[in-house]
Structures are given as structure tokens and as C-alpha cells.
Structure 1
Amino acid sequence: MDLPAADFPGSQSSLRAFAWGVRSVTSTVLTLVLFATYLGIGALAHDTHFSLGWVLASTAFVWAGPAQIILISTLDSGATVVQAAIAVAVSGIRLFPMVVSVLPMMRTRETKRRHLVLAAHFIAVTLWVECYRLLPQVPRNRRIAFTHGLGVGLLSVCLVATAIGYGLAANLPQLFGAAILLLTPLAFLLSTARNCRQLADILALGLGLALYPFAATLHSGVDILISGVSAGTIAYGVHWWRKRE
């Protein structure tokens, strides 16, 4: 259910909606998780001898922690730029369903495709989770501006954390760096569980966790993909069957 425009603090103008999106960064614990994660990415870039400007650019343009780790580790291992680009592109495919599910929440009859380009760039796991939590409270005609503000706010936090992590790399123990990178999947798992509303959501998440140990025994290299697709397909089948009944 959409919130009446009068109840949204940024309903008066797109600029205020943008500002409210930036301010909303402080209302989620995922901001702290991102900050800790990008401390680790900054430290990783320093230890693999990439420049600060390069890693800041990768944060701004790649805007996905796992993809940045793939990019840094792939280039550091001696792979070519083309090979690294292919690896990052394959990693980015996982975000496509998130983009497809969030963009319709922002569209109006007047929305043109060019209005959604920046919002689509910002949609990674964190913004996907927060859009499902926050966008129903935003009038539809202000949702793009709000999402731009939320994305800029989260990206700014990550840029700052990347720079700090890069500067602290000399004093950051490797074990601590690995631990803070682990915070990201754990936080996303808990946030996804919190946002589960329907039986299909709960079933997909529960089956995904239950099926992963069996998928891991296949040693396919795409264990998470196998368990996720299997669980999602079963959950969708149950949802379709219940809806038909």
C-alpha cells in the first residue's frame, strides 16, 4: 500500500525527496555493514598494489562488493582486462532480477527509460532490500528522486570507507579484514529474512539454506546458484498452486 503524499516528508519536491533518501541512509544497520565491508575492500586494494584513485573509481562504477573483490583478485592474479571484465559481468547477472523487481515500483505513466538509468546502477543487494522496506512509504512520483538520494548516500559512505580502509591497510590484520567481509552476506541474509512477508518468500529462503549443503557436494562451482534456483522454483510452484486453489 502506498503512503499518502501528505504523510511523506519529501512529497513537496523531488529535491526534498532526494534529501530524504540521503537521510534514510542513517536509518538502516546495512549502512554500518557496508562501511565495514568497504574498509576491507580498501585494504585489499592497498595490499594488491592498486592505487587509491583506481579503487575509488571501482567503488563508484562497479558498485558491488563481491564484484569488486573479483575484479581486484582477478587482475592481481595476472588475468587480462577482458578476462576480469567477463568475470565481473557474470557476477553482475545475479543483480538483474533485483533490478527487474524494483524498477516497476518507481515507474509512472510519465517515466521515460532515461529516468531509470541511474536508479538501475544503484540497485545492488543493499538498495534492493531497502527499496522494498522504504518505497511503499514514498509517493510514486517521488520514488526515483528518493532512490537517487538513497543510492548517493550509500555510495558516499562506501567511498569514505574505501579511502579509510586503504589508509589503514598497513595496520589492519588479515583475519580482521576477512571477518568484516563476512559481515556482508550475513547482514543480507538477516535483512532478507526480516523482509519475508509471504509463504513463498519464507519457503524460498528456507529451502535455499537447506538445499545448499547438498548442492555443495556436487563441487560444481555454482553451488549457490543451483540451490537458489531450485529453492526459488519450488517456492514459486507452491505459490502458483495455492493461488490456483
Structure 2
Amino acid sequence: MLADTGAIASVVDRRVLRRLGRDLESLRPYSGTLDSVSGHAIRVRGVIDLPVTLGTLEKTLPFVVTDHLFVDAILGTDSLKAFRAVIDLEEQSMTLKETGDVIPLGVARVEETYAATISSSVRLEPGRQALVRSRVRGAVKDQSVVLVEGVPGADDSLRVARTLCTVTDGTVLVEVCNASTEEVEVGTGAYLAAVTIVPDSAFTSEALEREGTRENISAVLSVSSRNAET
């Protein structure tokens, strides 16, 4: 679980709801919009209330449910305010003002991100999309799983789908869509996407034992984290 002081809302991946046994529950509509760091809109399925435990304090808080979130859950500023949490970046800790609990934060992870350029030109009619083979500009291990997404400042008429892809011979598949009303040609060597290596631990998944209540998101994510470390 990630604490993000730049996120306006707390978010949970829908696969976590399956672990909680709550994936069949009806979701409340979400009236706002959420954007990824690349500026692309995040697909929102709805809102659900989930119990969260930090230290000795438990609160039931709203989470926006989304697809393809590449951490299990994000605690945004809404949840951090509810817990009256103060984050100390120097000490890598979070203090809850209500209880005085001090929670150590995880070690910062440096993400490896590379540019991906189109290998051969493609012409797209309005509203059409295509999978375009693109070369990763950097030494990325073959068969690495990467997150492919658009880059800020790119042509507004072209949209890049945020997807997972496996690197093959130094290339990835980029899904490009022409969002304009005119035909667009994407030339060879065009820089449209960025790829970020996804660590193997992100895909570690084992059957979770029933210990205590499975409806508490913190307990489930804690068990998942322990399994990933073994």
C-alpha cells in the first residue's frame, strides 16, 4: 500500500476486492475524474468503503475502485487527513496525531523508466487505433514486464493506452489511438511512450489464509506483502 500526498483520493485495485471477498458488492458512483502521472484519465469503476488500520487506529474510508493499478492501494490525502497523519520524509516515518503511533515507511524504490520510439511509420484514420512495435531506448532485460504509458507533451491527437507488456528483443507493443477528426501519420522514430520496469514482486500472488477479518484491507495487504517476501 502506497501513501501518496499528491493523490486527491484513495484508490484500490479491483483485484484487492476479490481478496477481501467483496468483489460482487455494488459500487457507488464517483463524480470526479482521476488522472495518471502521464495525464491520462484513469478508468474508475466506482467507490466502496473499506476498513483501514494504521498502527492501533482503524477507520472505514471511501476508496475509488479502478482497473490496472500497479500497487494494491493508494492512501491519498483524504485518508491521510482522516488519520491525521504527518509524514516525515527525513525519518521515513508516519505519525498519527490522534494516537501518537509512529509507522515506519517502506524503503524508497527507484523506478527504471525508458523511452520507446516507433519502429515503423503508421497512418491512422480518425478514431482508429493500432498496435505499433516500438523500440525501447535503453538496456532492458528481455522478457521484462513493463508498464507502457503516454508521455506528457506528446501530440494531443494521439492517445497511448496504459498497458502491461513484455519486452521482446528490445521492443514493446504500444497501443495508439487517433483521437482527432483528421488522419494522422506517426513517423518512424516518433517518441510517444515511456516504459517502466515492473518488479517481479508485483506479480507474486499466493492464496491468502483467513486470519481475523478478511474485510480489513490492511490485514489482507499485510498478508500479501509477507507472502511476497518469502
TM-score range, shorter chain: under 0.3
Higher helix share: 1
Higher strand share: 2
Instruction: Give the structure, 1 or 2, with the largest relative contact order (CA under 8 Å, sep 6 or more).
Output: 1
Q: TM-score, normalised by structure 1?
A: 0.24
